[in-house]
Amino acid sequence: MKSEDQTRFLLGISLSDRPKWQQFLICSFGFFFGYLVNGICEEYVYNRLQFSYGWYFTFVQGFVYLILIRLQGFTMKQMVNPWNTYVKLSGVLMGSHGLTKGSLAYLNYPAQIMFKSTKVLPVMIMGAFVPGLRRKYPFNEYISALLLVVGLILFTLADAQTSPNFSIIGVIMISGALIMDAFLGNFQEAIFTMNPETTQMEMLFCSTIVGIPFLLVPMVLTGELFKAWSSCSQHPYIYCVLVFEAMATFIGQVSVLSLIAIFGAATTAMITTARKAVTLLLSYIIFTKPLTECHGSGLLLISMGIILRMLPDTKPSPRVQGSNANAKKPKPLLQK
């Protein structure tokens, strides 16, 4: 876990003057609440309303974010990082969101979140190479990540036998989103580390406002913009679901940024894995999907991996700290 004590707020709740365990519980609750609602809404929109337009879904979500951030009182005058940092971040963020949501047209939702559950492994590997972090992890944490991967394989094999939506196109899309997510979490942590004055609202605002134009290109090239607009025009109530989902996801997104800033990318990845397991079970319960023994074995291994990751470390994970000058003066990250 990160040990830096910076002034942090979560939707008006002060985190800095609370013990670590309270910070963890508050951030985790906000994250679980936001993304559990998000998961249910996504399943409903894609499978019940047959609205399989992932890029447009993210496009609408971005505008809802901007409105909510403005209501939180954030203005561009409060920015402490250069725009080019967020251009790089937004390209990865929007690509990850679009591929994740688009993969739902080819994978059913449980298969999709099981793929995303393995994010902790590439996050750990990539954390060793991101400037400002250079993290190294103990052996038991890699074993934990391996259990997650094996659990994923068991689940996808079982899902391929029971679901007609399982396809290689979906696997490619979600794998691309997985790689982007691994870079994204470490890059966000590096921004918080190199410039501790960075707030969660700044990161979310800048990455969203820069990322929205990135979405126009694939939407126009694929024709999704016009198809989604036509579909929503015929069924306006879809917008109600999308806006409600975006509001819940906003809470989850601010919470996860707080977790990254306080506890680091790898710890946050394990928390997101736990959330995905809960969402998976809710998906099967609410939408009455068949579970097989292979599904159960995969879920068991994933649970073992989560428990192993939560065991206390015998020694703290080393990380190369930036200089005090770097902490006081923001620098663009990952410049060529």
Q: 64-113: per-residue pLDDT in tens?
A: 999 999 888 888 888 888 888 888 887 787 777 778 777 777 777 666 66
From the list 273, 46, 295, the residue with the least C-alpha distance to 144 is 273
β partners of residue 14: 9
76-83 contact pairs (CB < 8 A, 24+): 76/205, 78/199, 78/201, 78/202, 79/202, 79/206, 80/195, 80/197, 80/198, 80/202, 80/330, 81/191, 81/195, 81/198, 81/202, 81/206, 81/330, 81/332, 82/330, 82/332, 83/206, 83/210
Residue boundaries of the structural domains of the chain? 36-310
What does the pLDDT read at residue 163? 54
What is the rounded CA–CA span in Å between residue 157 and residue 143? Answer: 21
Residue tagged 């074993």 (tokens): 143
- Tens digit of pLDDT per residue, the chain (336 long)? 444 455 677 877 777 778 888 888 888 888 888 887 887 777 777 666 666 777 788 888 889 999 999 888 888 888 888 888 888 887 787 777 778 777 777 777 666 666 766 777 778 877 777 666 667 777 777 787 788 777 766 766 665 555 545 678 888 888 888 888 888 888 888 888 888 888 888 888 888 888 788 778 878 887 888 888 887 888 778 788 888 888 988 998 888 888 888 888 877 877 777 676 666 666 666 666 677 777 778 778 877 877 776 665 555 444 444 444 444 444 555 444
What does the pLDDT read at residue 85? 85
Residue tagged 């605002």 (tokens): 205
Ranges of beta strands (E only) in the chain are: 9-10, 13-14
Is the distance from CB of 2 to CB of 262 less than 8 angstroms? yes
Residue tagged 């989560």 (tokens): 306
Is the distance from CB of 15 to CB of 263 less than 8 angstroms? no
- The reply to whether the predicted model has a pTM over 0.75 is no
What is the total residue count of the chain? 336
What does the pLDDT read at residue 72? 85
Distance from the Cα of residue 178 to its chain's centroid: 10
What does the pLDDT read at residue 312? 59
Assign 140 to helix, strand or coil.
Answer: helix
